Amino acid sequence: MDAIDVRKLDLLSNSLADFLRLDPSVDLQERGPDGTQADVSIRGGTFEQTLVLLNGFRMNDAQTGHHDMDLPLPLDAVSAVEILPGSGSTLYGSDAMGGVVNFITQAPKATELRVRTAFGNFGVNQQSASLTTVFQKATEQVAFSRDFSTGFMPDRDYRNLEFFSNTHLTSRLGPTDVVLAYNDRPFGANDFYGNYESWERTGTRFGSFRQAVGSDNEISFAFRRHTDIFVLLRDDPQFYTNHHVLDSYQAAFRRRQRLKENTRLFYGVEGYQDSIASNNLGDHTRGRVAGYLDLDVRAWKRLSFSLGAREEFYKSVRGQFVPAFDAGYWINSELKLRGHVSRSFRVPSMTELYYHDPTTVGSPDLLPESAWSAEGGLDWKPDSRITGELTAFDRWEHNVIDYARPSSTDVWRATNIQRLHFQGVEAAVKTKVKQSQDVDLRCTVMRGFRDQLGDLQTLYVFNYPVYSGVASWQASIPHGLVARSRLGVLKRYGRDPYGLWDLWLARDAGCIHPFLQLTNLTNTSYQEIAGVPMPGRAIVAGVELVLFRGRSTQ
């Protein structure tokens, strides 16, 4: 698992997408800057096969995976991002086939008020504010952000508006966390779904409640409403417009139990319900319940392993049983071997089941996807200044869902593809060159195999990165300045490679924090989604002010 400390990089980043680009196993496919209609895939999986979480709560959209990253999270609200490559269905259920991304918020440590403003080319206009308060048994954070752009080409304007509240209480029962969040995202969708000057507006309302009961028990509940208005021709909305409203509920009880000195048992029950009202998809409701357990053992100070299993029951599809086994062994103080074997699955989205237009048709009889995954790796830590990782992985997929057609004159139809197989190797080395400088080098190489499909054309399943590499550098330099640079190179299957170079510079000392963000410095022409151009060189400059700083819990 890769954990990224967002708080240390908030002046050196512009959106949550910037952090995902630090891991080459994550293939971020944006249709615009700053997370506009962003798809996330991991280890060659489709964007539907990546599970996105907010504080452990599912954010995946039952309508379509195109909305999984439609998160109501200002950058100031996020403290860390956890990236878990590989199968995670035993703990998290459906969708965690390629991997899991968990965005984490935390209770604030100090009372302060921060405001930020920035401007850039392409009509970029950004403002944000964050107020945190710390009391003896309660903390509160309220955050706001707006991000406007007139667009780097016609019909590619966007507006992101977000509000966020995080309340943390402490009582005799245990910690209580309440999160409330909202976003509104209208954007020009030129070429997003074909050669049309389209327009789309999405919005999210999210609320979650988590209550610890003693030191070993937890209950939680969350609600998410997502709205999606899509207009095929922006200048003629009456020609073709879709309106979808999705309500999702989730509740869980979790418990951890200490069996012996080095043995822990984790188990729980979960329940989910998704309801959609749509002029295109119709009105549908589906629910499921699940139970899981995981036995974690630490033995002889060198060996650790865990055995896990999950049973998930659906009203509309066959139940799913997903086991998992993990093990790790310290060869010596510098080297650790690790391995993982598990099964994962994904149920079809509402769009895959019920969508219809003149070029694309869903299939109500689709079967769930499933996969077996295996990986082995070596962790190396010779001293406190350098760490290394090497991982090889395999994934065998069955009944993979994609849109397919016999020829270019036919419609795209949601179809189960019998078998896919992905193999890959990941490598990473992180070193502290000097006390104030860090260098992180990472690369992922993959290849995929599929059954002989004849002349059948597919839309998404074979769009994986054949290789992806990232070199990042971060430094603290004199006069209170901090800098970060990222150079990424990526080649997708059947497409030309391209490279992107980004550079951030800021001053984090004192109460006035000017910053400069330079993206795509080489002005590279590239497309993360085929047929959807991305912007060239961009410059954003601004300043953050700490208007008040008071009580701290540290």
Tokens 């029951």 map to which residue? 313
The confidence score (pLDDT) of residue 314 equals: 87
In Å, how far are 40, 51, 427 from 249, measured between CA atoms?
23, 16, 38
**Domain boundaries of the chain, sorted by first residue:** 2-552
Q: What angle (nearest 5°) sits at the alpha carbon of residue 249, between those of residues 246 and 254? A: 150
Separation CA 365–CA 350 (nearest Å): 12
* Beta strand ranges found along 170-231 (DSSP E): 176-190, 197-213, 217-231
Identify the CA nearest to 148 among candidates 158, 156, 136, 135: 158
Separation CA 352–CA 51 (nearest Å): 17
Contact 115, 128 (CB under 8 A): yes
The confidence score (pLDDT) of residue 9 equals: 86
DSSP-derived 3-state class of residue 91: helix
Q: Which residues have CB under 8 Å from 553's CB, separation 6+?
A: 109, 110, 134, 139
The confidence score (pLDDT) of residue 300 equals: 76
The confidence score (pLDDT) of residue 440 equals: 96
Contact 251, 269 (CB under 8 A): no
Q: What one-letter code names the amino acid at 253?
A: F
- The β-bridge relationship of strands 412-434 and 360-361 is parallel
Q: What angle (nearest 5°) sits at the alpha carbon of residue 446, between those of residues 442 and 449? A: 170
Question: What does each of the 554 residues of the chain score in pLDDT, given as a tens digit?
Answer: 788 888 888 889 888 889 999 999 999 999 888 778 889 999 999 999 999 999 999 999 999 989 989 999 999 999 999 999 999 999 999 999 999 999 999 888 889 999 999 999 999 999 999 999 999 899 999 999 999 999 999 999 999 999 999 999 999 999 999 999 999 999 999 999 888 999 999 999 999 999 999 989 999 999 999 999 999 999 999 999 999 999 999 999 999 999 988 999 999 999 999 999 999 999 999 999 999 999 999 877 789 999 999 999 987 777 899 999 999 999 998 999 999 999 999 999 999 999 998 889 999 999 999 999 999 999 999 988 999 999 999 999 999 999 999 888 899 999 998 889 999 999 999 999 877 899 999 999 999 988 766 678 888 888 899 999 999 999 998 888 999 999 999 999 989 999 999 999 999 989 999 999 999 999 999 999 888 999 999 999 999 999 988 766 55
Q: Which residues have CB under 8 Å from 464's CB, separation 6+?
A: 27, 41, 44, 422, 446, 448, 492, 493
Q: What DSSP letter does each residue of 226-255 carry, written as one string?
A: EEEEEESSTT-TTTSEEEEEEEEEEEEEEE
The confidence score (pLDDT) of residue 425 equals: 97
The confidence score (pLDDT) of residue 457 equals: 85
Token reading at 315: 């009203």
Cut 0.85: pTM above it: yes
Domain 2-552 has CATH 2.40.170.20: yes
Identify the CA nearest to 134 among candidates 105, 113, 109: 109
Tokens 């093990």 map to which residue? 327
- φ, ψ of residue 57 to 5 degrees: the values are -90, 140
DSSP-derived 3-state class of residue 47: helix
The confidence score (pLDDT) of residue 551 equals: 61
Identify the CA nearest to 442 among candidates 5, 11, 21: 21
Radius of gyration of the chain (CA): 23
Contact 504, 162 (CB under 8 A): no
- The β-bridge relationship of strands 2-5 and 80-85 is antiparallel
Cα pseudo-dihedral 248, 189, 347, 218, rounded to 10 = -40
SS3 content of the chain, % helix, strand, coil (to 5): 5, 65, 30
Question: Which secondary structure element, helix H or strand E, spans residue 354, and what is its range?
Answer: helix 350-354
* Beta strand ranges found along 76-216 (DSSP E): 80-85, 99-104, 110-120, 124-134, 138-149, 158-169, 176-190, 197-213
Token reading at 547: 């208007």
